[in-house]
């Protein structure tokens, strides 16, 4: 089966534009491995990561809570990325407004999130089970883990982005579970509404 992490990494990297003058902000950068790959792809040295926990990171990191305001002035970045982050934030509108605020006028953002209408999730629900992408508690295997607060389907995500003043430029879909990789790639194109991973490129509209 297609690896979820590899799929969104590939989709995200393919949406980035090469431009060495660009400044890049990665929200929820974790250990910075994806952030540095994105920076390399864009060809820039001007990159900042944001995360709620300070940890060893491959890129300069700013500690901030994404539920609150971002500690950057207006129109600072050309590119903002939020990869597998928006579903963890309760204050979705606040986050989108903040992304919009810190973006330069010609800037773009890339948002990647799992799809609630994924084929496997529907399968789980048909059995009446709790889908793995929507945890009933923050406790997992005895560890506290901030889990998904909001879950999106394609039309839902589009609506949230448009309502917060973005124009959707490109959408990529991958991981049509439980198909094997080559079928998954084909199915994600034919029936994109049920692919497990959605990555969108948006611009200030």
Partner 1 sequence: MCDSENKERVVFTGFWWDYCTRRYNSEYRRVLFELLEPNPEATYLDLGCGDGTVAKRVAEHIGTDTVAGVELSKKLASQARRKGISIQRRDLDKGLPWADSTFDVVTANQIIEHVDNTDLLLKEIRRVLKPRGYAIISTNNLAALHWIVLLMLGKQPPTACISDEMYGDTRMHRRLFTMPGLVAAVRYFGFKAEKAVGTYYFPFPVPIARLLCKVDKRHASCITLKVRKPCTD
Catalog residues that contact partner 1 under the rule CB under 8 A. 90-93, 97, 116-117, 121-122, 124-131, 134-139, 149-157, 159-160, 162-165, 193-194
What is the closest distance, in whole angstroms, from the C-beta atom of residue 155 to partner 1 in the complex?
A: 5
Spatial CA neighbour of 46 closest among 93, 10, 80, 1: 80
Q: Is the Cβ of residue 61 or residue 202 nearer to partner 1 in the bound state?
A: 202
Cβ-contact 198, 11 below 8 angstroms: no
Nearer to partner 1, 108 or 166 (CB): 166
Q: In what order do the strands lie in the sheet with 77-83?
A: 61-63, 47-51, 24-27, 77-83, 103-114, 197-204, 166-174
- Closer by beta carbon to partner 1, 62 or else 160: 160
Max intra-chain CA distance, the chain:
51
Position of tokens 């400044």?
A: 23
End-to-end CA gap in the chain:
37
**Smaller CB separation from partner 1, 5 or 159:** 159
Work out how close the CB of 122 gets to partner 1 at its nearest, in angstroms, rounded to a whole number: 5
CB of 137 to partner 1, least distance (A): 5
Query: What are residue 132's phi and psi, to 5 degrees?
Result: -65, -25
Residue number, 3 or 132, with CB nearest to partner 1: 132
In terms of C-beta density within 10 A (0-12 exposed, 13-18 middle, 19 or more buried), how is residue 126 classed? exposed
Provide, rounded to whole angstroms, the least separation between the CB of residue 101 and partner 1. Answer: 12
Query: Residue 153 CB, nearest distance to partner 1 (Å)?
Result: 4
């Amino acid at each position: 089966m297609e690896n979820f992490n590899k799929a969104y990494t590939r989709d995200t990297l393919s949406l980035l534009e090469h431009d060495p003058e660009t400044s890049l902000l990665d929200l929820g950068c974790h250990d910075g491995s994806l952030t540095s790959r994105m920076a390399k792809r864009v060809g820039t040295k001007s990159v900042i990561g944001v995360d709620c926990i300070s940890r060893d990171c491959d890129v300069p990191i700013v500690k901030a809570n994404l539920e609150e305001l971002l500690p950057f002035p207006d129109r600072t970045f050309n590119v903002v990325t939020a990869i597998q982050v928006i579903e963890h934030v309760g204050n979705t509108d606040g986050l989108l407004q903040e992304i919009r605020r810190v973006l330069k006028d010609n800037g773009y953002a890339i948002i990647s999130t799992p799809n609630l209408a994924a084929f496997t999730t529907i399968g789980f629900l048909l059995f009446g089970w709790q889908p793995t992408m929507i945890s009933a508690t923050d406790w997992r295997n005895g560890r506290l883990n901030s889990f998904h607060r909001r879950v999106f389907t394609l039309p839902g995500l589009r609506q949230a982005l448009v309502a917060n003043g973005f124009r959707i430029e490109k959408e990529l879909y991958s991981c049509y579970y439980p198909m094997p990789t080559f079928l998954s790639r084909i199915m994600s194109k034919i029936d994109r509404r049920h692919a497990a991973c959605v990555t969108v490129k948006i611009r200030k509209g």
